[in-house]
């Protein structure tokens, strides 16, 4: 009887739309099966280690090197994509040119392409005999088998996120806002940074966080172009793979749980940041 009295009221309130209980139940079940269950399995696997062992594995020099490499590469790739994605979204929404719809379609290609194929083609381009690599190498720029290659692979696979987040917001922007600013004497740069950028900022942040999450988890594209040298060009996902191949499941799970926690914390921070921007717009 006690249970009935503490049951949250919100669940019993009859809304106009029926089926809240059914849809909510289905959704929770689905999330549990697809997302939460595998994640808990991972944590349980990692929990089979003693705290001391766990800490030793995740703080080993080799593991820490992979975190640094993965995180810094993902950040650089995502920041690059913010600029590149904004530019491409801008071109796609602001200008009419032949081949525009083709370009618009090509944008999604990194989503559809198996990442291994992307990695292979990048390696083909950037090795010392590749189309681009043969010109970069004499200039002292080595892309393949370096962090630069990892960044290139991450930037390639996460490129659509920023474009697809920003594009609809740019399309919906009233041209009058820019016209009003221009009439008031603002220069094109002042209009961009004072009017356009604040308007698209939440979308830009959303695109950045998606690109970052994707880059952190990228594996297939990277292993073909990264040299996979421990301490130098080994990403965390690869280290997990190596541990698995050694049948060291607990060790793999321990490192994976670090990646999981890092991704969670970063997405949370970005979500909070976005929420703050939205709130600042709607409240006084």
Binding site for another protein (CB under 8 A): 174, 176-177, 179-187, 190, 194-195, 198-199, 280-282, 284
Using the minimum distance from each CB to another protein, give the nearer residue, 21 or 194. 194
The pair phi, psi for residue 18, each rounded to 5°, is -80, 170
Q: Measured between alpha carbons, how far is 97 from 94 in angstroms, rounded to an integer? A: 10
Using the minimum distance from each CB to another protein, give the nearer residue, 62 or 94. 94
Kindly state the smallest distance separating residue 194's Cβ from another protein, in Å: 7
What is the rounded end-to-end Cα distance, in angstroms, of the chain? 45
Kindly state the smallest distance separating residue 184's Cβ from another protein, in Å: 4
- Specify the residue for token string 């992979």: 66
Q: Measured between alpha carbons, how far is 200 from 94 in angstroms, rounded to an integer? A: 14
Kindly state the smallest distance separating residue 268's Cβ from another protein, in Å: 24
Distances (CA, A) of 242 to 15, 61, 119, 130, 153: 52, 15, 19, 28, 20
Using the minimum distance from each CB to another protein, give the nearer residue, 42 or 173. 173
Kindly state the smallest distance separating residue 190's Cβ from another protein, in Å: 5
Using the minimum distance from each CB to another protein, give the nearer residue, 108 or 179. 179
Kindly state the smallest distance separating residue 83's Cβ from another protein, in Å: 21
10 Å Cβ neighbour count for 15?
Answer: 7
Using the minimum distance from each CB to another protein, give the nearer residue, 198 or 230. 198
């Amino acid at each position: 009887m006690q249970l009935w009295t503490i049951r949250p009221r919100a669940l019993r309130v009859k809304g106009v739309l029926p089926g809240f209980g059914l849809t909510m139940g289905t959704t929770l079940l689905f999330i549990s099966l697809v997302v939460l269950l595998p994640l808990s399995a991972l944590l349980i696997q990692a929990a089979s280690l003693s705290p001391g062992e766990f800490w030793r594995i995740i703080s080993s020099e080799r593991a820490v090197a992979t975190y640094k490499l993965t995180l810094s590469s993902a950040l650089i790739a995502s920041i690059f994509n913010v600029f590149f994605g904004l530019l491409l979204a801008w071109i796609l929404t602001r200008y009419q040119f032949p081949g525009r719809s083709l370009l618009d379609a090509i944008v999604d290609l990194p989503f559809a392409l198996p990442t291994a194929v992307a990695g292979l083609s990048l390696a083909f381009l950037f090795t010392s005999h590749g189309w681009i690599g043969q010109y970069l190498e004499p200039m002292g720029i080595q892309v393949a088998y370096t962090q630069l290659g990892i960044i290139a692979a991450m930037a390639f696979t996460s490129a659509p996120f920023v474009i697809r987040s920003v594009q609809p917001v740019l399309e919906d922007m009233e041209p009058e806002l820019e016209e009003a600013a221009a009439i008031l004497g603002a220069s094109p740069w002042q209009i961009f940074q004072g009017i356009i950028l604040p308007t698209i900022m939440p979308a830009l942040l959303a695109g950045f966080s998606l690109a970052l999450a994707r880059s952190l988890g990228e594996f297939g594209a990277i292993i073909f172009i990264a040299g996979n040298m421990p301490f130098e060009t080994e990403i965390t996902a690869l280290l997990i793979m190596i541990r698995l191949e050694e049948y060291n499941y607990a060790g793999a799970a321990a490192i994976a749980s670090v990646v999981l926690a890092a991704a969670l914390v970063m997405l949370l921070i970005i979500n909070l940041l976005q929420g703050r921007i939205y709130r600042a717009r709607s409240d006084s």
